[in-house]
Every structure is written in structure tokens, then in C-alpha cells.
A = this chain, B = another copy of it.
């Protein structure tokens, strides 16, 4: 039978910083939800591992009650799995699910682009996207080393896609995208570790998508965004295959 050993985070002063910081969540529960969600998305807890309520509460220096509250919320979000009388475990995602997440995300982000084109961009949104694209142009034309360019692109990429999601003004689309990015490795900052030529090509697609949205061409914007995400998917699959060898 599978080992049900409880997973403990190597805790060297892991207890959360709670004093002197700005904009802290109002309650312990809310803080724990954010903290644990980030830890899970970062993969700091091994998939399938069991989260022991007592250990967590001791490590994080709160009682079991807010820990349970956070775990229940995260289970509702689908990041954790819950079995009655057996507790919470970190949800495992198969490789097939990663690929499916990209297929789904291509459709959801395509819809976001369609809605953005239909509804038009606010001045604020336009400024945000302009800035993101300019940052990308600058980063890719500069002579920084590859890693710096990748980092800059990653940040720009998130800003661009985030702005489109916001411009779509659809909570539903945002939620679906979030669900797709829940699968580890599917989040935006993990998908850019490819070759520079690919990054340039994808950046050009960003420009094209922006252009279609500005021109109020919903069908074209949706088509381009789908293509864009699918191309990221393909790159990622190639990347995994390359690493596999």
C-alpha cells in the first residue's frame, strides 16, 4: 500500500511574517489560504502527499481551526483532495491533464480575446498592454543574456495575458483560466523556458492579438489567441520530450 507518511515542510522559521507588513489578510484563515495556495502552485508540497493539520498548525503557529478552514477552501478550489476521516492530500495532476489544460486554456483565452474585442479596451487596459508590449520589444531587442530576456519576457507575458483577461470583463473566463493554470507547470511563468526564436515568434503573436482587439475584430482575436496558446502548448510538449531524452 502507498505510504501515507505525512509531509512536513522543512521548517526553518517558516512561520509567516505577520507584523509590520502592509495589506495583510484580515484573518488567519485568509492568510493561510493565500500562503498555502501559493505553496501548492509553486509545488512546494509533493503531489499526493498528505497535509497533516496538527503539523501545519504547529509550523504556521496557529490553531487547527484556521488551518482546516484554509484546507477546506483549497479543496473546494480543487487544489486539494479530501477524504472523510482521512484528511487532505495534494492533488496530483497527470501529464495528460497538463496537455488538456492547454487545450482548455486555448479556448478560454480565445474567448477572453473575443470578449475584449467585442467590448473594447479601456484607456487603462490599453496603457497596460502598450507598456507590456514595449517592455517585451525592449527586452528582446536588447543584448542581455538569454536568462534575463526570458525573465523579462515571462513578466511581460503575464502582464499581457492578465490585461486581456481583465479586459474581457468576465469572471467566468477568469475562473476557467485560473483552473487551467492550477495544473503545475501550466502557469504563465513556467512556460517561457524555450528558445529565443520561439519567444520572438510568440511576442509577434502578442502584437497581432493586440491589433485584432484594438480593431474590434472578435473572431480574428479569438483565432489568434487560440493559435498562440496552442503554439505554447506544442513548445512545451517538445520541451518535455527533449528533457525526456
Q: How many residues of A contact B (CB 8 A)?
A: 35
A175 adjacent to B27 (CB under 8 Å)? no
Give the complex CA separation of A169 and B72 in angstroms.
26
In angstroms, Cα B103 to Cα A176, docked, is 12
Q: Is A173 close to B, CB under 8 A?
A: yes
Instruction: Report A201-214 CB contacts with B as 1/0, cut-off 8 Å.
Output: 00000000000000
Residue from the set A29, A172, A183 with the largest chain B CB neighbour count within 10 Å: A172
Docked complex Cα distance between A69 and B100 (Å): 31
**A residues at B contact (CB < 8 Å):** 25-27, 29-30, 68-69, 72-78, 84-85, 97, 100-101, 103-104, 107-108, 110-111, 115, 170-173, 175-176, 179-180, 183
Q: Do the beta carbons of B26 and A97 come within 8 Å of each other?
A: no
By a CB distance below 8 angstroms, the chain B residues around A101 are: 172
**How many angstroms from the CA of A27 to the CA of B68 in the assembled complex?**
15
Q: Knowing that A100-B172, A179-B179 are A-B contacts, what are 4 other residue pairs whose CB atoms are under 8 Å apart, sorted by A's residue number?
A: A26-B85, A76-B78, A101-B172, A107-B110
A-B contact pairs, 23 of them (CB 8 A): A26-B84, A26-B85, A27-B84, A29-B72, A68-B69, A72-B76, A73-B73, A73-B75, A74-B76, A75-B76, A76-B76, A76-B77, A76-B78, A77-B77, A97-B172, A100-B170, A103-B111, A104-B111, A104-B173, A107-B111, A108-B176, A172-B183, A179-B179
Question: Beyond A26-B85, A27-B85, A85-B26, is A172–B75 a contact (Cβ under 8 Å)?
Answer: no
| Bound-state Cα–Cα, A25 to B82, Å | 13
Shortest distance from the beta carbon of A160 to any chain B beta carbon, whole Å: 21
Q: A108 to chain B: which residues have CB within 8 Å?
A: 104, 107, 176
Which B residues touch A69, using CB under 8 A? 68-69, 72
